[in-house]
Amino acid sequence: MALNKLTDRKAKAFHGPGLLGDGGGLFLQVTPSGSRSWIFRFKTAGKVRTMGLGACHAVTLAAAREKAAECRKQRADSLDPLEERRAAGAARKAQGVTFREAAESCIETMQGGWRSAKTPSIWKYTLATYAYPHFGDLPVSLVTLARVEAALKPIWAKREEAGKPETARRLRRFIEAVLDYSTAKGWRSGDNPAKLDGPLRFLIPKLEEAATVTHHAAMPYAEVPAFVAELAARDDLSSIALHVLILTACRTSEVLNAKWDEVDLEKGVWTIPLRRMKTAKAHRVPLSTAAIAAFEAATRFRREGDDWVFPGARHGAPLSNMSLLQLLRRMRRQNVTAHGFRSSFRTWAEETTHYTHDVKEAALAHYSGSKVERAYQRSDHFAKRKPLMNDWSEFCVSTIEY
């Protein structure tokens, strides 16, 4: 393959239009308009491709030959020079993608898989408040361990009141996710400095333990029957909703967002769809006679064209999350939360029944066993949960009549 066929004089003397070859895929190209440039031509997958190397007034013949030589080297390595240039350009552009921009893209991509509509707002607020001031406008490729530590340390404290361990724990997870997402997008490379099992654990030891578990205030199960009797004497929708929550041992959001098409009173089954479950698995709730009666009481509040079991003041929306807490306050139960009745149920089941651990956990829609065990577990123990929930209901309503 002959190379360096041209001289500067020959190149200047060629007025085209057309191509004048220097050898090895390098050509001088002159368009009908008189524009002059250097191009590299090569064949890949049976097709001829053309790659521009620059205008003649900016790139000399010698410089064009150097560029063409680099292209030939890439071809010898079975690489496509055009694709390599595009990849290099993308990499240079990625150097300018800030952490803030990467986070916004990450949230937009992930939010379709989030169950709660509030999750994107939590991500945005947490990152904007605690991460962006430290490295929000920094290229995501330059977010280092020291910068992650600087963002976490001010809000991390194990026992100090000034600390915000839960927020710090959440922030670390969010930063880790954004950096992993950025690596997947080609915006950064190398290890993720926000990973808990990396060097970060030596800079902020026992970060996960800092987020101590806060249990929801629960009513001792022995007091539940008297409370349920008091609740049954009330005739408002919030009281009925709390009654259903207690008798089914379901979460507040699962109860308040219930729709009539989920409830089969004839068969005594309430099927909560997976999109509303914390475990992302549909949950069948066996309804006792008392629970069915509570659902039937809610039918008096049903609105035409509104499928909510517990409709709120605003048409098309259910009761608010605060409705049950406000009810408990009106009933002078300041030391109790609605969610705490799940603990009341679990303690009652543990101390007074002989149902297996799996059945009791399934009643609360909890996973049980190791990850491998859960993968092979297909039964939701519905048949076994039915007598459990009947026993619980009989205990709860033992002082009232339906």
pLDDT above 90 as % of the chain: 45
Tell me the average pLDDT across 234-258.
93
Please give the pLDDT value at position 305: 80
Q: Is residue 173 part of a domain?
A: yes
Query: pLDDT tens for residues 313-361?
Result: 888 889 988 899 899 999 998 888 888 899 999 999 988 888 888 888 8
Q: Which residue has the higher pLDDT, 163 or 248?
A: 248
Greatest Cα-to-Cα distance within the chain, rounded to the nearest angstrom = 109
Same domain, 83 and 203: no
Q: Is residue 117 part of a domain?
A: yes
Q: Is residue 3 part of a domain?
A: no
Here the CATH number for the domain that contains residue 260 is 1.10.443.10
Query: pLDDT tens for residues 69-88?
Result: 999 998 888 888 888 888 77
Tell me the average pLDDT across 269-284.
82
Q: Is residue 25 part of a domain?
A: yes
Same domain, 63 and 83: yes
Same domain, 382 and 266: yes
Last residue of a domain, one of 76, 94, 112: 94
State phi, psi for 108 to the nearest 5 degrees: -60, -40
Contact indicator for 48, 41 with CB cutoff of 8 Å: yes
Last residue of a domain, one of 190, 210, 230: 210
Q: Is residue 256 part of a domain?
A: yes
Distance CA 159, CA 343 (A): 26
Exposure string over 174-211, b if 16+ CB within 10 A, otherwise e: bbbbbbebbbebebbeeebbbbeeeebeebbeebeebb
Here the CATH number for the domain that contains residue 41 is 3.30.160.390
Same domain, 114 and 178: yes
Q: Is residue 1 part of a domain?
A: no
Range of the domain at 204: 99-210
Q: Give the 3-state secondary structure percentages of the chain, helix then strand then coil, rounded to 5.
A: 50, 10, 40
Same domain, 249 and 382: yes
Same domain, 173 and 34: no
- Whole-model pTM: value is 0.49
Same domain, 236 and 376: yes
Distance between start and end Cα atoms, the chain: 98
Same domain, 274 and 166: no
Same domain, 31 and 180: no
